[in-house]
Structure 1
Amino acid sequence: MRLTPALAAALLTLAAASTAKAEEGMWTFDNFPIARANATLGTNIDQAWLDRVRLSSVKFGGCSAGLVSAEGLVMTNNHCVATCVANLSTQAVNYAETGFAPRSREEELKCPGGTAEILTEISDVTARMQAAGAGLEGQAFTRARDAEAGRIEQEACGDATDKRCQVVSLYRGGQFKLYTYKKFSDVRLAWAPEDRAATFGGDLDNFSFPRFAIDAAFIRLYENGAPVATPTHFKWNADKPVEGTPVFVSGSPGATQRLLTQDQLFTIRDVVLPMDQLLASELRGRLIRFSQESEENAFIAMDPIVGLENTYKRGLGRMRALTDPGFMAGRATAEEDFKTRSAQQWSDMQESVRARQRAAGTPQVFISPVNPWDQLSRIQPIARELYPAMALLEGGTGLGTTPVAGGSQLFNWARTLVRGAQEREKPSAERLPEFADSRLTAVQSGLFAERPVYSGLEQVRMEWWLSKTREWLTVDDPRMPVLLGQESPEARSARLVSGTTLADPAVRRALWEGGLAAIQASDDPMIQYLLTLQEPTRAIRADWEARVDAPTARASEQLAALRFQAYGDSVYPDATGTLRLTYGLIEGTDVPGQRFGAFTTFNGLWDRATGSAPFDVAPKLLAARERIDGDTVLNMAVSSDTIGGSSGSPVVNEAGEIVGANFDSTVLTQRNAYGYDRNVNRSVIVTTGAVTTALRDVYGMQRLVEELGVE
């Protein structure tokens, strides 16, 4: 039989819908297929190995990281500490340009608002969570589930400030797990290279291979003013990697959407991604224009621009996947197989539930007479209609990436203060979930952090948001008078930014601690503005929760039950920002349009350098050229299953030794959100050998080299 592209894609996608094969799967640590991984890779890992890897893995903000010494030293990516570097820098002392290389541990600087977490326990709370919504529909269902999650988290963590508890939905409602983390709120920057060393090739090389980037950095975990003792950590292995070697990647991938139905993906393809791409493109253009106005603006906008470029290119890769006929045909074939397998199961499930309900005399579980695929199809027109307003005014749809208020820090602080004050007047179980008692510690940590605020950047962000919201919702939208009144986007944003005092953390703390009375009495224009926005923004959120979130959760839960019956526990859940383990081989690819070997070296870096941005070598790195062994492997490609959020993930060999850190993937890998394709999925890794070379031969960080145990 001839394997056509469409059939090949179908077989690949079928694996995601049924039973994962080869390197596919972002597996939770409590359901990792040890036997299958060992059989595939020829390794011999066991549960004790998994436990050591889990306790050595770190979640750092929206990134991943790994413990590499007994004294709280953690390796992650340079782009994962970019915000910390920017917050610690000034135009006069810009660590992004010079690198940050403290000569002693005492010179390591605290990252404002930085937190790190280690997963210590996973427990099943499925029964409680599913019972909480029994017999309910719409927003009542959503709020009941949120309230139960808050109760579970509060019971497990209480008022502890050194722990965080999170109820996680897996398999889109098929399971709920309580994740308990050890939390560190004192995170200090221990080393970061020059930004040009980590971003060589710039946006042109981003999401590509070959790469030539030292995208690595170190942070250190502190507690009670001293480095944390971490006897469980990855052993550093700086040996030259060997092609074909099996490796494991442990990190916290952000979100995948592989378990969505075709109709749900069509909404993302037709509505969500086009809108997000257009908005991100314009915001990037405005920020580039802002950066060109002065050297100070260039310094201020550097990190935001890089982030937007990543967002845009990631969206582009996903658009290509959803408009690829072969890829989508593969998903359609997989869905039909699932429907065929589960048709009788759906009928049996309905009758079983009805029988239990009759026996109990009260409804135990809601079950629709309409099958879940049809239910989800009926929701899509509503989601398409509501998405623009929900994304622009409220965010949090779980579908796209449009930032509310353009990501304005002042706006977000004001919204937290206003909503927090209003919600804390209610019992915890009746609040919006982000303000439940169990989550207030994290809210306060972000709110009170001392971060620099640049009024020019804030103005650009808010002006963009107001103008785009008016454009997308139209001038005649009834919410426009509240958003703009009689002012232009330029005038309103300028007035709000120039008049607010929320850049001062003491002001934010006083407003938070003063509660609703202090908020209502405040004459701060940004606070007053957010007070006026509560009615329209809360209304769109309530509408979305009632008409999209709740029925989607209901149908998805039923779909998950059918999936378990059809395929058993060989199914892995979508990524949810929680710790996962994946694996693969160190290797390149010979796919047309993506042909490359497994490794790049420092010699390749020198060959690629032109002296002109973005192919100009960082000054300190260039100055050390004669001290660097040109054959040292700089970056490598691995066939592991990763996605955004996996940045910084430790790459570990069978012995449990760290051999690199994931920092990127190829552009074709962006389809990984919707399905894994071993032929093209490649993660891009900075090697421990390259990091050792940078520490020792470029930045003079011999004390860290010794701490890592390098001879």
Structure 2
Amino acid sequence: MRHLNLAASAAVLAFAAASSAIPGKAWAEEGMWTFDNFPIARANQTLGTSIDQAFLDRVRLSSVKFGGCSAGIVSAEGLVMTNNHCVATCVANLSTQAVNYAETGFTPRTREEERKCPGGSAEILTGIEDVTARMHKAGEGLEGLAFTRARDAEAGRIEQEACGDATDKRCQVVSLYRGGQFKLYTYKKYTDVRLAWAPEDRAATFGGDLDNFSFPRFAIDAAFIRLYENGAPAATPTHFRWNADKPVEGAPVFVSGSPGATQRLLTMDQLASVRDVVLPMDQLIASELRGRLIRYSEEGERQAFEAMDPIVSIENTYKRGLGRMRALTDADFMSRRTAAEADFRDKAGVEIFDRLAAIQPGLRELYPATALLEGGTGVGTTAVAGGSQLFSWARTLVRGAQERQKPSAERLAEYSDSRLAAVQSSLFAERPVYPGLEQVRMEWWLSKTREWLTVDDPRVRTLLGNESPEGLSARLVEGSKLADPAVRRALWEGGLAAVEASDDPLIQYLLKIQEPTRAVRAEWEEKVQGPTDRASEALAAARFAAYGDAVYPDATGTLRLTYGQIEGTDVPGQRFGAFTTFAGLWDRATGAPPFDVAPKLLAARDRIPGDTVLNMAVSSDTIGGSSGSPVVTPQGEIVGANFDSTVLTQRNAYGYDRNVNRSVIVTTGAVTAALRDVYGMTGLLAELGVR
């Protein structure tokens, strides 16, 4: 790794002023930095610390990507801390209506009682290699769909060369700076991930949606998983040391995690499309899905159990989108972005910006159909088929069978040889399927697609035929046998012949709609994704020329390191101190949802010192996907896990503002109190070194 000298630090600050949308003002803590380009000197100067390369290596090897969340290793025997909401799907999959771990908590007394999370996997980043030259060469002289497919094929070749048929590692070519750089990330992969502890859901989600994306918070949003290898706990000699001491306001901390996506490098024309088309559509249809799920949950106890996790998920998505809408309709915020872009235009020239502007009419026209029929736009969050698990399996089986008939380099990127192991792992996982919930999701999707694309759209006619959304979704769900993993495995292993011969209605339905959905994807790649990627690559080159290479890229769901201090804020609409305590929890409780305290936690009230810090606020640069990120001292001790941020912080997707940006952390002190005084997890406490 190249350490930054003072000249490089100056370049970072100059770029930060442009990328943060605050012209002439750079925030010291700004940046979700890759581990091979972290500004050590700048961080030490800002925080008064003395971290070095060895510190970065320990943090990287102690950090875990767990599904769409982050986590940190906390013992030498594979024990990992993350958020409770990050294991919610695992908890739901392991629960039944009779034994609902979301209500009781999951508290295994021995390791033998730890249970495998269906389909769960965890990864540790072990290597980063620059492959920019190969990727840029692959796209030379090409445009549109040909450009996109050529780069996808080259990425697949690079990944296959690096990882081959290995099952214990994964290789991924990562696009950084929106195509300005490409890095090969190599991960140590664990496919046996077991739940080691989760509190009652009410302990982790106290305050519900009302408190979500806010502070003060009073939530024990923490959980433990364990990595297993060859049937035994994995050996993890590199890990964070547990520190449950009371945190100190103003103390420096580092946050290591895998933030999902930011859009700070988008042009103002691109952001206008997000503001005017993408977010309004996503928010409108997400709000209706939330309403349908709530209605379904009110039909009975079984339905309430089935819909609990999906409702929390869609509420989180909706509220995050609301915060982003507020940012993009904030005249002051957008004027600062405009001024920052004007400075960059003077350095880069207007031609590239004009090219990106010319793409936007096509994006605005194609987004609804692409989002609803195909997904994967990279700019929105609309879920195909409403997130139906049965539909997802059927599409994987059909597409996988069709794509595997081709050479790897000619396939859709997600079915290249280098990625088939992950596809199979997800496809074969044993997960519960709730037919009623599946029908709600598919019925919503079919009705929204018909509404947005109109009845006369030929793709809608193919989608529905002469059936109604209600009747078609009921027929497909009731007749499908794909809930059985043995059926899915047989179809996958039988290949295209088995898939085409299947009498499963969902399989036949996916075969029927392949032509229009594939066409939608191809048109998007030809008219939007390909031209955007080509122009963004040129824009990145101009950015490097203007500001040097000591800059940070947009978040991409890959491991990053950010830093800040433990502190509250004092700005309009967001005034609070740095800490909340258990005494504050008891004071906030009303006994009625969502401010009802979890029964086991409430029973332990007299055993927990009231001044124990429960949650804290940190001025670090985080975004969705940072959930579960370990919060670490300069000495490499873990003092908490990121689990939320404030509504005002959601503008962080488009630009960093230290005045309002605060990450919300559950402290190790709170977790220790829960393990010791509430749930009696003495084995975990001993493993953490707590006396």
TM over 0.5: yes
1:567-646 alignment runs, 5 A limit: 567-646=547-626
Matched, 1:492 2:492: no
Task: Supply the AA of the counterpart residue of 1:545.
Answer: E
Question: SS of 1:187's equivalent?
Answer: strand
The answer to whether the 8 A contact 1:13-1:330 is kept is: no
1:120 paired residue among 126, 130, 139: 126
1:19 to 1:449, Cα distance in 2 relative to 1, 3 A: farther
SS of the residue aligned with 2:332?
helix
Partner residue, 2:89: 83
| Aligned residue type for 2:195 | L
Provide the secondary structure at the position in 1 that maps to 2:640: strand
Task: Select which of 164, 168, 172 maps to 2:174.
Answer: 168
Match of 1:382 among 362, 376, 379: 362
Distance in 1 of aligned mates of 2:311 and 2:341: 39
Quick check: 1:252–1:578 contact (8 Å CA) kept in 2?
yes
* Deviation digits for residues 527-561 of structure 1 (CA, Å, limit 9, x no counterpart): 00000110000000000000001110111000000
Offset of 1:15 from its aligned partner? 6.2
Question: Quick check: 1:12–1:330 contact (8 Å CA) kept in 2?
Answer: no
Matches within 5 A, 1:660-679: 660-679=640-659
Cα displacement string for residues 20-78 of structure 1 (whole angstroms, at most 9, x for unaligned residues): 63110000000000000000000000000000000000000000000000000000000
RMSD value over aligned CA atoms? 1.1
8 Å Cα contact 2:27-2:657 kept in structure 1: no
**Could you tell me which residue of structure 1 aligns to residue 515 of structure 2?**
535
User: Once the two structures are aligned, what percentage of the paired residues are identical?
Assistant: 83
Q: Which runs of 5+ in 1 are unaligned?
A: 1-9, 344-369
Q: Does 1:332 align with 2:338?
A: yes
- Secondary structure of the residue aligned to 1:684 is strand
Residue-by-residue CA offset, 1:630-659 (whole Å, 9 max, x unaligned): 100000000000000000000000100000
Residues in 2 aligned to 1:699 and 1:284: alpha-carbon distance in whole angstroms: 33
Distance 1:642 1:130 in 2: 30
1:142 maps onto 2:118 in alignment: no
Q: 2:387 aligns with which of 384, 389, 407?
A: 407
Say whether the 8 Å CA contact 2:125–2:559 is kept in structure 1.
yes
For 1:214-293, what aligned pairs fall within 5 Å after superposition?
Answer: 214-293=220-299
Q: Distance in 2 between matches of 1:14 and 1:586?
A: 21
1:177 aligned residue (183, 187, 207): 183
- Distance (whole Å) between structure 1 residues aligned to residue 437 and residue 293 of structure 2: 8
Instruction: Determine the C-alpha separation between the residues in 1 that align with 2:412 and 2:622.
Output: 31
Specify the code of the residue in structure 2 equivalent to 1:685.
Answer: I
Alignment of 1:695-710 (within 5 A): 695-710=675-690
1:373-522 equivalent positions in 2, closer than 5 A: 373-522=353-502
The amino acid that maps onto 1:129 is M
- Aligned match of 1:351: none
| Distance in 2 (alpha carbons) for counterparts of 1:72 and 1:552 | 42
Cα distance in 2 for partners of 1:388, 1:18 equals 38
- SS of 1:212's equivalent? coil
Partner deviation per Cα, 1:321-345 (whole Å, 9 max, x = no partner): 00000000000000000011223xx
**Counterpart in the other structure of 2:12:** none
SS of 1:570's equivalent in the other structure is coil
Residue 642 to residue 202, structure 1, CA distance change in 2 (3 Å): same
The structure-2 alpha-carbon separation of the partners of 1:333 and 1:393, relative to structure 1 and needing over 3 Å to count, comes to: same
CA shift for structure 1 position 570: 3.0
Letter in 1 for 2:219: A
Q: Does 2:638 align with 1:658?
A: yes
> Once the 2 structures are TM-superposed, how far is the Cα of residue 17 of structure 1 from its aligned partner?
8.5
What is the number of equivalent residue pairs in this alignment? 676
Task: Indicate conservation of the 8 Å contact 2:90/2:118, yes or no.
Answer: yes
Q: How far has the Cα of 1:682 moved from its partner?
A: 0.2
| Deviation for aligned residue 1:569 | 2.3
Q: C-alpha displacement at 1:480, in angstroms?
A: 1.6
Deviation per residue, 1:177-202 (Å, 9 max, x gap): 00000000000000000000000000
The one-letter code matched in structure 1 to 2:179 is G
Q: 1:17 to 1:79 in 2, by over 3 A?
A: farther
Query: Which residue among 524, 539, 560 is the counterpart of 2:504?
Result: 524
Q: TM-score, normalised by structure 2?
A: 0.97
The 2-side partners of 1:557 and 1:96 are apart by 46
Cα drift, residue 11 of structure 1? 5.8
Matched residue SS, 1:92? coil
1:447 counterpart letter in structure 2: L
Q: What displacement does 1:13 show?
A: 5.3
Q: CA deviation at 1:138?
A: 1.3
Q: Post-superposition shift, 1:482?
A: 1.0
Match of 1:314 in 2: 320
Match of 2:49 among 26, 33, 43: 43
